[in-house]
Amino acid sequence: MSDKTILVIGTYDTKDDELGFLSGVIRDQGGNVLSMDVSVLGDPSQPTAYSKHDVAQEGGSSIEAAIASGDENHAMQIMAKGASLLAARLYTEGKFDGMIVLGGTMGTDLALDVASALPLGVPKYIVSTVSFSPLIPAERLAADTQMILWAGGLYGLNSVCKASLSQAAGAVLGAARAVQKPDPGKPLVGMMSLGTSALKYVIPLKPALEERGYEVAVFHATGMGGRAFESLAGQGAFACVMDFCTQELGNHIHGSNISAGADRLTNAGQSGTPQIVAPGCYDLVDIVGWQPIPDKWADHPSHAHNRLLTSIVLNNDERRAVARAHSQQLAKSKGVVAMILPQHGLGEWDREGADLHDKEGLSAFMGELDASLPAHVVAHRLGCHINDAEFAKKALEIFDDWRAAGVVTG
C-alpha cells in the first residue's frame, strides 16, 4: 500500500526515462506518484496523470499558442504559469503530499515558480543541473525549497545520475512522511537577527512572546534567511514581525551578493502585517569572504567573520543611503509600522568603546532617517543600545499595546 503521493513534474518528451526511473524508486519505497507533463513539442511514451494540454489550459493558454509563439522562453513561461496554478489547486484538493521537479535550466525556471506556489510545509524538491548555481537568485526560492544537483544526467540514464535521482526520490518521499507542518492555529511572530554575539534581543524577547502564547521564528539575516522571511511575510504567515536586523537591505543597495532581494522590508507591509522595525547592524555590508574584496571597498575597514563571510564598515554617505532605503521600503507598507531607534548603537560592535563604534556615522544615519521616514511610521527614539534591556522592553510594550487594540491577533 502507498502512504504518500508525490507530484512528479518534468518534460516527459525529453526526460521520459529519467522521470520514469525517479517515479519507480518512489513506488519501490511504498509511495504513490502523480505525474505532470510540462513538455511543449513532444509527447511521453505513456500518458501522464496531467498532460501538457491540461497544464497549458490551467494557465489560460494552450500548447498550440506556446508553439505558435516561436520562442522557447515564452512557451516555457506559459507552462510555468499553468503548472504553478495546477499544482496549487491539486494540493488544495489533497491530491499530493510532496512535489519534485526534474530539469535543466528551462525545467528549473519552471520548478522555482511551482515551488513558490505551494505553502510552507509542503516538501518541494528540485533536481537540477544548476542546483546551487549563481544563476538562481535568492528571490526565486520559496522558503523551504530543497535542491539536489542532477549530476551527469543531461542525456540519458547512467550510474552517476541514478545515484542523484534515487537520493532525490527517497528525500522527497521521506520528507512527505516526516514533515511536521506549521500549526495554522498558533499565532507566529517572525523575527530577524544575527548571532547573539552581535544582536542579543532575541534572548529576552523569545521567551516573553512565548509566554504570551505566540510561536517565534527567528531568521538569520544572511541573504537566504531574509528571503525566507520575506516570502512568509508576503503570504501573511505572521501575526506580527519584529524586523530588528535589516542589514540585508544595505547589502542589496550596495551591490553585495548576500542579498535577500529588492523587496527586503516590503512584504510584511504589503500584506498588512503589523511591523516593529529596528535597523540592526545597518552599518555593515556583508560580502563573500572567499572572494577578493571588490575595489569599491578597498579603503574601508573590514572584518573577516569566517572563511565564508566578511563584513565591510560603511562610511557616512553610505549609511545615509541605507537610511533612505529604509524609508523608501517602509513607505510601501499598508499596515501599522513602529520603528525603534536606539540612539547609542545598533550592533554589539558599535557600542561606545567597541572596535566599530562611530558616533559621527551613527548620527549621519539617524539624521537621514529623521528627514526621510514616512509620516505613517511611528518612531520611538530610545537613549540606549539595541542590546540593552530597554530596547526589548519597548518592543514588548508596542506589541502588547497592539494586542490590546486588536492590531495583533492571537
Provide the residue ranges of all domains of the chain, joining segments of one domain with +.
5-178, 188-405
Residue 2 pLDDT exceeds 70: no
Mean pLDDT of 259-274: 95
Closest CA to 147 of 160, 159, 135: 135
Strand arrangement of the beta sheet that strand 5-10 belongs to: 32-37, 5-10, 98-103, 124-128, 145-149
Q: In the prediction, which pLDDT does 404 show?
A: 98
How far is residue 148 CA from its own chain's centroid?
A: 18
Mean pLDDT of 371-398: 98
Rounded CA separation 118/124 (Å)? 8
pLDDT (tens digit per residue) in 24-59: 999 999 999 999 999 999 999 999 999 999 999 999
Reading the block at residue 104, the C-alpha cell is: 535543466
Q: In the prediction, which pLDDT does 166 show?
A: 97
Q: In the prediction, which pLDDT does 134 show?
A: 82
Rounded CA separation 192/322 (Å)? 17
pTM: 0.87
- CATH code of the domain made up of 5-178: 3.40.50.12020
Rounded CA separation 355/348 (Å)? 10
Closest CA to 252 of 221, 274, 277: 221
Share of the chain above pLDDT 90, in %: 87
Mean pLDDT of 129-141: 86
pLDDT (tens digit per residue) in 103-121: 999 999 999 999 999 998 9
Strand 188-193 and strand 215-220: the pairing is: parallel
pLDDT (tens digit per residue) in 171-225: 999 999 999 988 888 899 999 999 998 999 999 999 999 999 999 999 999 998 9
pLDDT (tens digit per residue) in 63-90: 999 999 999 999 999 999 999 999 999 9
Q: Are 286 and 310 in contact (CB under 8 A)?
A: yes
Closest CA to 340 of 325, 361, 319, 326: 326
- pLDDT, averaged across the chain: 95
DSSP 8-state assignment for residue 50: B
Q: Is 216 in a helix, a strand, or coil? A: strand
Q: Are 327 and 269 in contact (CB under 8 A)?
A: no
- CATH architecture, domain defined by 188-405: 3-Layer(aba) Sandwich (3.40)
Taking CA atoms, 311 is separated from 52, 224, 303, 349, 351, in Å, by 48, 17, 5, 12, 17
Mean pLDDT of 301-313: 91
Residue 257 pLDDT exceeds 90: no
Q: Are 114 and 126 in contact (CB under 8 A)?
A: no
pLDDT (tens digit per residue) in 337-370: 999 999 999 999 999 999 889 999 999 999 999 9
Residue 251 pLDDT exceeds 70: yes
**How sure is the predictor about 1, in pLDDT bands with cuts at 50, 70 and 90?**
very low
In order, the DSSP letters of 260-326 are --TTTTTHHHHTT--EEEEEETTTEEEEETTSPPPGGGTTS-EEE-SSSEEEEEP-HHHHHHHHHHH
Phi, psi (degrees; rounded to nearest 5) at 2: -90, 145
